[in-house]
Amino acid sequence: MTDSGLLADRTPLPSELDSRLRDHLTFLIEVDRLKTILRASPLAAADRRENDAEHSWHLALMVMTLAEYADEPIDVGHTIKLVVVHDLVEIYAGDTPIYDTELAKSQREREEAAADRLFGILPADSGRALRALWDEFEERKTPEARFAKAMDRFQPLLLNWMAEGGTWRTPGVTADDVRSRKKVIGEGSTALFEAAMQLIGEGERRGWARPS
C-alpha cells in the first residue's frame, strides 16, 4: 500500500453529489492507482516497463481478437469484464512476478485482503458484483475464466518475444520454467498453447532463454 488513505481524500468530491454515486466515483478515482503498478514485462513500443492498467487493456483487446481460438464457446463481453478487473487487487497487494516463488507464497492472503479493502469502497451490491468477477477469474472454473487466464499468460510472451527474451532472462529461469508457467494457456486454447510453445522454442534456439 502506497498510502494510508484514499486518493479522493486529497480532494474530496462535492458533498452535494448523490451519496451512492459519490461512492462509485470515489472507487473510480482510487483505481487510478492501477496505472502506477509496474509489471516485470518491458513494452514493445517504448523503453520502459508495462503497468497493470495498460496490461489489462491489452488483454481486453486480445480477448476480442483471439476469441476464435478458444477451445470452448465463450461469452466475449463477459470474458472482457474478467480481464478488466483481474489485476485490481494489485493496487494494494502489488504485482507478484511470475518467477518470484518466494513472494508467491503470500500472494493469495495479500490479494484477498486487498480485495476486501478495494471493493469495500463501493456500495455493497456493486462491490459484490466486481468481487464475483475477480473470484471467477481466480477460480478458472468457467470457459470465460480459463480463456481470460490464457490471455494473461500469453500477452507477456508477445512482449518478451519483442524484447528478445525479456523476463525469460530472469536469473535462474530456464526455457522449461517458462514452458511450465505457460501450461495454463492450454486450459483455454490448444491453438494458442501450441503457438506459445513455438515462440519459446524459437527463443531458446536463439539464446533468449536458457536451455534447460
CA distance 210 to 171: 9
Using CB under 8 A, count the residues that bind its own copies: 61
Interface of this chain with its own copies, residues 81 to 120, rule: CB under 8 A: 81, 84-85
Judged by CB under 8 A, does residue 36 bind its own copies?
yes
Number of H helices, E strands in the chain: 10, 2
Smallest gap from residue 146 Cβ to its own copies (A): 18
Query: Which is nearer to its own copies, 27 or 170 (by Cβ)?
Result: 27
Judged by CB under 8 A, does residue 209 bind its own copies?
no
User: Residue 152: which of 63, 65, 51 has the closest Cα?
Assistant: 63
Query: Which is nearer to its own copies, 99 or 161 (by Cβ)?
Result: 161
Give the three cell numbers for residue 33.
492507482
Name the DSSP letter for residue 42: E
Buried/exposed code over 171-182 (b: 16+ C-beta within 10 A; e: otherwise): eebebebbbebb
CA distance 154 to 58: 11
Query: Which is nearer to its own copies, 73 or 172 (by Cβ)?
Result: 73
Q: Which residues sit at the interface with its own copies, rule CB under 8 A?
A: 7-8, 10-11, 13-14, 16-18, 21, 24-25, 27-29, 31-36, 43-46, 50-51, 53-54, 56-58, 60-62, 64-66, 69, 75-78, 80-81, 84-85, 122, 126, 130, 158-159, 161-162, 164, 191-192, 195, 198-199, 202
